Amino acid sequence: MASSSAAGAGSTDPAAARRNTKRPKYSKFTQQELPACKPILTPRAVISAFLLVSIVFVPIGVASLIASRKVVEIVFRYESTCIPNNVTDKVAYIQSSADKTCNITLHVNKHMKSPIHVYYQLDNFYQNHRRYVKSRSDEQLRDRSEENSTSTCKPEDTANGKAIVPCGLIAWSLFNDTYSFSRVNQSLKVNKEGISWKSDREHKFGKDVFPRNFQSSAIKGGASLNESIPLSKQEDLIVWMRTAALPTFRKLYGRIEEDLNEGDSINVILKNNYNTYSFNGKKKLVLSTTSWLGGKNDFLGIAYLTVGGLCFFLALSFTIVYFVKPRQLGDPSYLSWNMNPGGH
């Protein structure tokens, strides 16, 4: 033992050098001493946070609600109205080749400022069904040379041995009711341009891709397409191909670019072609203006007001409770060893 001390004395220098290499380098990071902000929830911070939320939320809620209330919406459900009274088998009727024109009148109860968006709304239509969503070929839609990439489109991939363009269930089931509007015998023009997303027109649907062999199989689905118009101009198709998230959905049909006045009666000549009768789906025609927030939906405003109000209530109750039962911050008497002495 004593000898080792002698040995130690002789070998201090190299040992020290070796040691220093193992010494952890000091830095604030490695020692976990980085400067940090340590916010704590003081009563003032809590109450201010609640107040802040309510101050921000209530105005937004009011604004949203006003915006939503300003929107004028005419909804007309027509899937039963447009079936002649004597028809019992609605499905057979809709699948027949009879003339399914239907005249309806809409009443404008409130002035509607242009543009007025025309939508059709379907109910109970599962555009988001996995089989349906997948049944399309983006390559084919975009690129003329990819005409035959229809593997994802089954069973609407080929007809008569040739590829269908556009293939797949989505395109095949294209909505084919049409509407034309007139006011006091003066027709209202429905502008169907620009109803789809620009990016879709320009990048997803080819300018040189033309419908071919479409709706030529044994079972006809929905609308047919004009084979001389490229897909990028077939805006109804483009809108339809953007599948909806929910089984109840609207799709843009066109825009009426004239104001509609209060009391106006709008005549709609409606071609009721689309089969929603098999699955009891509703069909609605919707005319709606928009606000900065979009269409008519009070929910957002109500939600904002609710949360804002709740926060105000919380701010209030926290304030009251602080006054009733204040606790000084950092009061050591609340430490566990002071709260229940000996009861560790």
Partner 1 sequence: MTRGRIRARLRRSHLYTFSCLKPSTVEEAPHPLQGPGFSRTVYCNQPLLHEKKPLYYCRNDISTTKYNVLTFFPKALFEQFRRVANIYFLLAACLSASPISPFSPLSMIAPLAFVVGLSMAKEALEDSRRFVQDVKVNRRKVNRHKSDGAFGPRSWQSIMVGDVLKVKKDQFFPADLLLLSSSYEDGICYVETMNLDGETNLKVKRSLEATLNLDNDEVFKDFAGTIRCEDPNPNLYTFVGNLEYERQIYPLDPSQILLRDSKLRNTEYIYGVAIFTGHDSKVMQNSTKSPSKRSTIEKKMDYIIYTLFTVLILISVISSIGFVIKTKYQTPTWWYLRPDNIEYQYDPKKVGVAGMSHLVTALILYGYLIPISLYVSIEVVKVLQATFINQDIQMYDEETGTPADARTSNLNEELGQVDTILSDKTGTLTCNQMDFLKCSIAGTAYGVRSSEVELAAAKQMASDLEDQDSDLSNFPLPKAKMQVSWDNVKKDEEIGLDAVVTSKGDDDQKRAIKGFGFEDDRLMNCNWLKEPNADDLLMFFRILAVCHTAIPELNEETGVFTYEAESPDEGAFLVAAREFGFEFCRRTQSSIFIHERFSASRQVVEREYKLLNLLDFTSKRKRMSVIVRDEEGSIFLMCKGADSIIFDRMSKNGKMYLEATTKHLNEYGEAGLRTLALAYRKLDEQEYSAWNNEFHKAKSAVGADRDSMLERVSDMMERELILVGATAVEDKLQKGVPQCIDNLAQAGLKIWVLTGDKMETAINIGFACSLLRQGMKQICITTPVSDSVASDVKQAIKDNISNQLTNASQMIKLEKDPHAAFALIIDGKTLTYTLEDDMKHQFLALAVDCASVICCRVSPKQKALVTRLVKQGTGKTTLAIGDGANDVGMIQEADIGVGISGVEGMQAVMASDFAVAQFRFLERLLVVHGHWCYKRIAQMICYFFYKNIAFGLTIFYFEAFTGFSGQSVYDDWYMILFNVVLTSLPVISLGVFEQDVPSEVCLQFPALYQQGPKNLFFDWYRILGWMGNGLYSSLIIFFLIVTIFYDQAFRADGQIADMAVVGTTMFTCIVWAVNCQIALTMSHFTWIQHLFVWGSIATWYIFLLLYGMLSPEYSKSAYQILAEALSPAPIYWITTLLVSVTCNLPYFVHISYQRCFYPMDHHIIQEIKYYKKDIEDQHMWTRERSKARQETKIGFTARVEAKIRQLKGRLQKKQTMTISAPS
3-state SS class at 219? coil
User: Are 222 and 174 a contacting pair, CB within 8 Å?
Assistant: yes
Interface with partner 1 includes 208 (CB under 8 A)? no
CA–CA separation, 316 and 309 (whole Å): 10
Q: Is 323 in the site for partner 1 (CB under 8 A)?
A: no
Q: Does 190 bind partner 1 (CB under 8 A)?
A: no
Nearest distance, CB of residue 339 and partner 1, angstroms: 10
Within positions 62 to 81, which residues make up the interface with partner 1, using CB under 8 A?
64, 71, 73
Q: Is 324 in the site for partner 1 (CB under 8 A)?
A: no
Is the distance from CB of 136 to CB of 167 less than 8 angstroms?
A: yes
Identify which of residues 76 and 119 has a Cβ nearer to partner 1 in the complex: 119
DSSP letter for each residue of 151-208:
GGGTTSSEETTEE-BS-SHHHHT----EEEEEETTEEEPEE-TT-S-HHIIIIIS-TT
Question: Could you tell me the smallest distance in angstroms from the CB atom of residue 185 to partner 1?
Answer: 27
- Is residue 230 within 8 A of residue 204, CB to CB? The reply is no
Q: To the nearest whole angstrom, how small is the minimum distance from the Cβ of residue 319 to partner 1?
A: 11
Q: Does residue 2 touch partner 1 according to CB under 8 A? A: yes
The alpha carbons of the chain give a radius of gyration, in whole angstroms, of 34
Q: Which of 59, 84, 155, 263 binds partner 1 (CB under 8 A)?
A: 155
Instruction: Give CA–CA dist 254/284, Å, rounded.
Output: 15
In one-letter notation, the amino acid at residue 110 is K
57 near partner 1, rule: CB under 8 A: yes
Quick one: which of 65, 221, 235, 270 contacts partner 1 (CB under 8 A)?
221
In the bound complex, what is the minimum distance in angstroms from residue 248's beta carbon to partner 1? 6
21 phi, psi to nearest 5 deg: -70, -30
Q: Give me the 244-263 binding string for partner 1, x by CB under 8 A, dash otherwise.
A: xxxxxxxxx--x--------
Q: d(Cα 314, Cα 265) in Å, to the nearest integer?
A: 50
Give, as ranges, the residues between 101 and 130 that touch partner 1 (CB under 8 A).
115, 117, 119, 121, 125-126, 128-130
What residues contact 262, with CB distance under 8 A and at least 6 apart? Answer: 108, 109, 110, 111
Choosing from 26, 103, 185, 340, the residue that interacts with partner 1 (CB under 8 A) is 26
- The correct pick among 66, 229, 320, 329 for binding partner 1 (CB under 8 A) is 329
Nearest to 58 by CA among 332, 312, 334, 320: 312
Q: Is 161 a binder of partner 1 (CB under 8 A)?
A: no
Question: Which letter, b or e, does each residue of 239-266 get, where b requires 16 or more Cβ atoms within 10 Å of its Cβ?
Answer: bbbeebeeeebbbbbbbbebebeeebeb
Which one of 58, 87, 132, 233 is in contact with partner 1 (CB under 8 A)? Answer: 132
Q: How many residues lie near partner 1 (CB under 8 A)?
A: 117
* Among residues 203, 208, 226, 262, the one that binds partner 1 under rule CB under 8 A: 203
Indicate which single residue of 83, 102, 104, 138 sits in contact with partner 1 (rule: CB under 8 A). Answer: 138
55 binds partner 1 (CB under 8 A): no
Q: Does 282 bind partner 1 (CB under 8 A)?
A: no
Residue carrying the six token digits 């593997």: 151
Nearer to partner 1, 36 or 184 (CB): 36
Under the binding rule (CB under 8 A), the answer on residue 337 touching partner 1 is yes
Token pair recorded at residue 190: 């429905």
Q: Which of 292, 323, 324, 340 binds partner 1 (CB under 8 A)?
A: 292
Q: Is the dihedral of CA 90, 94, 96, 97 positive or negative?
A: positive
The residue within the footprint of partner 1, chosen from 14, 86, 99, 342 (CB under 8 A), is 342
To partner 1, the closest distance from the beta carbon of 217 in angstroms equals 10
* Residue from the set 86, 99, 103, 131 that interacts with partner 1 by CB under 8 A: 131
